Structures are given as C-alpha cells and as structure tokens.
Amino acid sequence: MEIGPDYRPTPSEPFMNPRQQTYFKRKLLDWRDSILRESKETLAQLQVDSLREPDVTDRASSETDWSIELRTRDRQRKLIAKIDAAIRRIAEGEYGYCEVTGEPISLARLEARPVATMTVEAQERHERNEKISRDE
C-alpha cells in the first residue's frame, strides 16, 4: 500500500489498518537504515583514525571517546533486533497490540517508541514488578 509523506495515523481510523501498518513499517525500516548508516560511518572512522596520538593524555581521551562510541553502537545493535522483531509483528498482524493484555497500544506511544510491545500501563506494572523482585 502506498501512503504519502504527510500521512500520520489517527485514532479516527480503524486501528492497525493497512495504511497504519505501512506507515509504521516504513518508520521502522527508516530508523533501522539510519542506525546501520551511522554504524558504517563509525567503523570507517575507526579505520581512518589512529589511536596513536603522541601525548598520553590525548591518547587516553581518544580511547575513552571510542569506548563510549562503541558502547553506543552495541546498544544500537540490540535496538536493531527489536526493530526487526517489530517488523515481524507487522507481518504477523500482531504489531500495535500489547503482548500482556492484548489491548491496542496507543498511536502516540507507537509514534514515540515504534518498538513498544506493551501499553504504558502494562509497561509500568512490569517495571514495578521488576523493581520489587530486584529489591528482594
């Protein structure tokens, strides 16, 4: 299904109709492409930059910067797995529905966090239970 660049899902439409599915799939694919592009740029920069600054302080600073960058890329690698899972849920007709309650996840939440798998309420309950089990 083709949708225009100005299309935004609205609550007045049937939930997760083909237009909304196409919209979120495109949003997820664009996000994934952006992350992959940034990762390639980081790798290219790592290959170009040398961590052989003559000054020990400069070298330590560069190593710290690259360590932070690589941790960020690792988090993004995990995010790509969540994006791929969301794209699979779209194909299976499960996208946009809470994995705990089965209720629709709000469009505003999906817009802000397209990989969301729970409603805000279910997520909050999950986090409270997680905190309680950590505290015990």
Please tell me the pTM assigned to this model: 0.78
16: left (phi over 0), alpha (psi -120 to 50) or beta: left
Residue 94's φ and ψ, nearest 5 degrees, are -105, -10
Domain residue ranges of the chain, discontinuous segments joined by +: 14-95, 97-136
Residues 86, 58: Cα–Cα separation, whole Å: 42
pLDDT at 92: 97
Q: What is the pLDDT of residue 135?
A: 75
**HSE, side-chain direction, 13 A CA sphere, residue 45:** 11
15 in Cβ contact with 94 (< 8 Å): no
Whether the pLDDT of residue 50 is over 70: the answer is no
The pLDDT tens digits of the residues spanning 67-109 come to 787 787 788 889 999 999 999 999 999 999 999 999 999 999 9
In CATH terms, the fold of domain 14-95 is Four Helix Bundle (Hemerythrin (Met), subunit A) (1.20.120)
- Cβ atoms of 20 and 96 closer than 8 Å: yes
Asked if the model's pLDDT at residue 123 lies above 70, the reply is: yes
